[in-house]
Amino acid sequence: MIDRERLAALAAEEPASQRRKHAFRNRYATAHHGLGSFLRWQWQSRGRFPDHQSFPLHTPDPEQLAQPGNHPQITWIGHATYLFQHRGWNLLTDPVFSDRCSPFTFAGPKRAVPPALTIEQLPDINAVLISHNHYDHLDKASVKQLQARFGRDILWFVPQGIAAWLRKLGVERIIELGWWQSDYHGQVEAFCLPA
């Protein structure tokens, strides 16, 4: 059972700075890495990323994805991108289908293994759940491709501050949630919790 009164109390306890748009702060102290740390890392690594490791790639059967059965089914597509299927509902998490996690197509960390599915191979997607807006969890090119393929059929559940960015890309159906908030839609309820 979900204690909604407790969630409301936790939401009310959040400092005003946590609730203001574009003003989130870490709840707990984190190490600060300044310019010196960055330069030391660049010198020690010579600006290179670690060598890629080889992982086996298992491509899911598209027919099984189209007819997933009665039990919940999760397909790992890559990194934080998962396809969750249950009772005819298809939810995609943190969609990144690009070759690089970067604002540029020519620079930044390159994918070691291609995604297990392409956007064209996905079954009809009902909703997308975004955890946060780092490049390896929210990719502009992937959003545009999903929007081109599914349009208004997708409902996007996003943390506070991300909806305006998605609207600029043509996304229309967005539920934006602050910490401790939830929203119910059809068979699914999405919760936004601080992490």
List the domain boundaries for the chain.
4-192
Give the model confidence (pLDDT) of 104-119 as tens digits.
888 777 787 889 999 9
Q: Where are the alpha helices (H) located in the chain, listed in sequence order?
A: 4-13, 16-19, 35-45, 62-66, 140-150, 163-168
Confidence at residue 26, expressed as pLDDT on a 0 to 100 scale? 64
- Quick count: other Cβ atoms within 10 Å of Cβ 62? 13
DSSP letter at 61? Answer: P
**Residue 146 tokens, joined:** 């999903």
Please, is 36 exposed, middle or buried when counting C-beta atoms within 10 Å of its C-beta (0-12, 13-18, 19+)?
A: exposed
Give the model confidence (pLDDT) of 16-62 as tens digits.
545 555 555 666 777 778 888 888 888 888 767 667 677 777 888 88
**Residue 40 tokens, joined:** 């030391």
Lowest mean pLDDT among 16-25, 71-80, 154-163: 16-25
- State mean pLDDT over 123-130: 94
Global pTM value = 0.80
Confidence at residue 16, expressed as pLDDT on a 0 to 100 scale? 55
**Cβ-contact 186, 89 below 8 angstroms:** yes
Residue 59 in 3-state DSSP?
Answer: coil
